[in-house]
Chain A
Amino acid sequence: MESHALPAPAAPAIAEIDIPIWAWALVALAVVASYFVMLENGVVLSHVAETLHEFFHDGRHFAGVPCH
């Protein structure tokens, strides 16, 4: 929702910058890490996943992601 009552700011609140490619790589890494912590059930890691799954078990339930 843009506020039309306020005059448009002279400069954007966050300066326009080029996002370097390594920053996006870091985002991809973060998403993969989240997958292993929160969602892995054995599709990628097979039985190692069970250990990961059980260790993070409470956090998974609490974060609302599907669990056994």
Chain B
Amino acid sequence: MKRILAIGCLAGLAAGVAAALFAATAGRGPIRDAIALEDSVSHATSGAHHEDLFSRGVQEIGGAVGLVVFGLALGVVFSVVLAAVGPRLAVPTPPAASVRLGFFGFVAVVLVPFLKYPANPPAVGDPDTVNERTLLYFAALGLSILLTWAVWRFHRGVSLAPVAKAWATAALYGAGLVLIFLALPGNPDPVDAPADLVWRFRLASLGGLAAAWATLALVTGALLSRPAARN
């Protein structure tokens, strides 16, 4: 247990660094443009200068620190879940188990919530609705994880011919996704930033999260495949 947890921490740190590097390169331009836009809009409407708590440089460092801390936390969760569900994954080797969990984890934890509530750059977002949006985001995340777990249980538990089972599993997951997308209300905020800015930001965000999850799964798999000195 301690070994897999230590591996998860290392891989999580690596994933956080990957996300931070992605943010510092692909994400930096769109975030700067969005904040410049935000400042020009607030100047035009209120005339008052918005006093920033932190400078741009400090926020960029803070953002990187946040992503690394978040990566570490993700690594801890990932390794314990891998230890718990790994024995029940139909794969031949530990790296294969890690990559499989990483793939389904990315889809459940990142991709599905992202498709329902896509990431927005700093110029978008009404402070008055932030608690409501956080709650909706939690709901999407929770329902997505729950759906993935339920479909996985179905796939393991049901006895059908392989082809029928694959279709039934896919249909169940698809129906669950449609229900989640219909049941949850849309983002209450208007997205009035330029579409190309929003698009560049979303691509960078999704790319960074994909890089983080790929790093997490691959580093965990690589470290697990080394012979264990002790468990």
Q: A55-B54, A61-B120 are in contact. Are A66 and B86 (CB under 8 A)?
A: no
Residues of A within 8 A of B205 (CB): 61-64
Interface presence of B84 (CB below 8 A): yes
A62 and B19 contacting across the interface, CB-CB below 8 Å: yes
Q: Interface 1/0s, chain B 35-72, versus A by CB < 8 A?
A: 00000000000000000111000111011111101101
Contact of B69 among A37, A62, A66 (CB under 8 A): A37
Interface presence of B73 (CB below 8 A): yes
How many angstroms from the CA of A64 to the CA of B97 in the assembled complex? 27
How many angstroms from the CA of A3 to the CA of B116 in the assembled complex? 31
Q: Within the complex, what minimum Cβ distance (angstroms) separates A20 from chain B?
A: 6
How many angstroms from the CA of A58 to the CA of B204 in the assembled complex? 12
Contact of B89 among A14, A54, A63 (CB under 8 A): A14
Residues of A within 8 A of B60 (CB): 58
Q: A4-B162, A56-B65, A61-B31 are in contact. Are A20 and B93 (CB under 8 A)?
A: no
Interface presence of B146 (CB below 8 A): no
B121 and A13 contacting across the interface, CB-CB below 8 Å: no
Residues of B within 8 A of A15 (CB): 87
Residues of B within 8 A of A29 (CB): 76
Contact of B66 among A31, A41, A56 (CB under 8 A): A56
Residues of A within 8 A of B74 (CB): 30, 34
Interface set of A (CB-CB < 8 Å, partner B)? 1-4, 6, 8-9, 12-17, 19-20, 23-24, 26-27, 29-31, 33-34, 37-39, 41-43, 50-51, 54-68
Can you report 30 residue pairs joining A to B where beta carbons are below 8 Å apart? A13-B86, A13-B97, A14-B82, A17-B87, A27-B77, A30-B73, A31-B73, A33-B73, A55-B53, A55-B59, A57-B63, A57-B122, A59-B63, A59-B66, A59-B70, A60-B66, A61-B31, A61-B63, A61-B119, A61-B201, A62-B22, A62-B119, A63-B19, A63-B70, A63-B208, A64-B114, A64-B206, A67-B122, A67-B125, A68-B126
Query: Closest 3 interchain pairs by CB?
Result: A14-B86, A58-B63, A59-B66
